[in-house]
Amino acid sequence: MINRITKAVIPAAGLGTRFLPATKAMPKEMLPVVDKPAIQYVVEEAVTAGLHDVLMITGRNKNSLENHFDRLPELEALLEAKGDAGRLAKVNASTDLADMHYVRQGDPRGLGHAILRAKMHVGDEPFAVLLGDDIIDPRDPLLGRMLDEQVKRGATIVALLEVDPSQISLYGAAAVEMTDDPDVVRITGLVEKPAVEDAPSNLAIIGRYVLRPEVFGILENTAPGKGNEIQLTDALQTMAVTPEETGGVYGVIFRGRRYDTGDRLDYIKAIVQIAVDRADLGPDLRPWLREFAAGLEDGPVETSPLD
Ligand code: G1P
């Protein structure tokens, strides 16, 4: 199905405190996942789904994000003079990727507040939001499917993932009803980061949304919620219970490969998972990993001073 949505919004104003000190002077979005900054995978995903107009919500200390998606003439000239076409292509890949725009958030007052900063740029049309902590494997496309559902249902669409019930308090959790499509549910309620015993289900919102523009007006009237921040989940809850005015909210259940780069342990796992499937690194990494894993002994671990 042809969709008319062209804009993607990527919030990238977070302070990255989980990765300090690495993120003291560098945005967490620039941390490399193998050899590309995490944020580049996310912009590539938007472009692959046909969203060439990308607005990034940034903040202080985020200049390297803009630099990464801009030209670097000195480096280009150097690689060209050396005849290094392979590396030149890698350098240019992020420059030519999308039509990039930036706006700053100023006060970081939550995800909902960050999305509100996109109001002027987006205008009165549906748009996608991609959160930078999740990388979706391009072999298991998700966003294109969500855009199709948005056009088909005229609703707001979120991506849902079945998580272990013990993990649900890390996410927005959805109460749902089945539809005639096994991968699509109608959302009847949403709670941001509920306690395990209060969660309406183990269906977690992962960081992909296709929002109707009514979300802006709703966010403007959404009081601070969890963590005293303006929560996108709370605005979506309002939309879920007002389908006549806002089109309601549906969830696409994602069953594919997703790599979380949001905390240190998941970030390490993401790098290994992505690298083992790469043609240039996998063939050497796989046997090394097997040998390394076989050598890990059970029992007390001698703690390294390299922390
Ligand atoms: C945000 C949202 C949450 C969602 C999550 C997905 O939380 O508020 O509803 O489940 O992203 O990654 P954050 O992880 O930014 O705390």
Rounded distance between C-alpha atoms, residue 247 and residue 239, angstroms: 7
| Ligand 1 close to Cβ of residue 171 (< 6 A) | yes
| Residue 161 and residue 68 share a domain | yes
| Residue 11 and residue 69 share a domain | yes
pLDDT digits (tens, 9 = 90+) for 168-199: 999 999 999 999 999 999 999 999 999 999 99
Give yes or no for a contact between 184 and 106, defined as CB atoms under 8 angstroms apart: no
Cα separations in angstroms, 189 against 106, 199, 201, 231, 250 = 31, 11, 10, 14, 10
Q: Does residue 303 form part of some domain?
A: no
| Residue 198 and residue 105 share a domain | yes
What does the pLDDT read at residue 2?
54
Say which amino acid occupies 65.
L
Q: Does residue 274 form part of some domain?
A: yes
Rounded distance between C-alpha atoms, residue 7 and residue 57, angstroms: 13
Residue nearest to atom 11 of ligand 1 (CA): 207
| Ligand 1 close to Cβ of residue 205 (< 6 A) | yes
Give the residue, out of 19, 111, 163, 263, with the most ligand 1 atoms within 8 A of its beta carbon, to mutate for a pocket test: 111
Going by C-beta distance under 8 Å and a sequence separation of 6 or more, which residues neighbour residue 186?
A: 176, 177, 178, 179, 248, 249, 250, 251
What are the backbone angles phi and psi of residue 164, rounded to the nearest 5°?
-60, 135
Q: Does residue 302 form part of some domain?
A: no
What are the backbone angles phi and psi of residue 7, rounded to the nearest 5°?
-110, 135
What does the pLDDT read at residue 231?
98
| Residue 168 and residue 26 share a domain | yes
| Residue 232 and residue 192 share a domain | yes
Going by C-beta distance under 8 Å and a sequence separation of 6 or more, which residues neighbour residue 224?
A: 109, 110, 230, 231
Listed as ranges, residues in the chain with pLDDT below 50 are 1
| Residue 212 and residue 279 share a domain | no
Cα separations in angstroms, 68 against 13, 45, 89, 94 = 16, 16, 14, 7
Cα separations in angstroms, 251 against 42, 43, 191 = 20, 22, 14
pLDDT digits (tens, 9 = 90+) for 71-122: 999 999 999 999 999 999 999 999 999 999 999 999 889 999 999 999 999 9
| Residue 230 and residue 142 share a domain | yes
282: domain range? 263-295
| Residue 283 and residue 223 share a domain | no
Q: How far is the CA of 209 from the centre of ligand 1 (A)?
A: 11
What does the pLDDT read at residue 3?
54
Domain total for the chain? 2
Confidence (pTM): 0.95
| Residue 181 and residue 151 share a domain | yes
Q: Does residue 194 form part of some domain?
A: yes
Q: Shortest CA distance to 237 belongs to which of 224, 249, 223?
A: 249
What does the pLDDT read at residue 306?
86
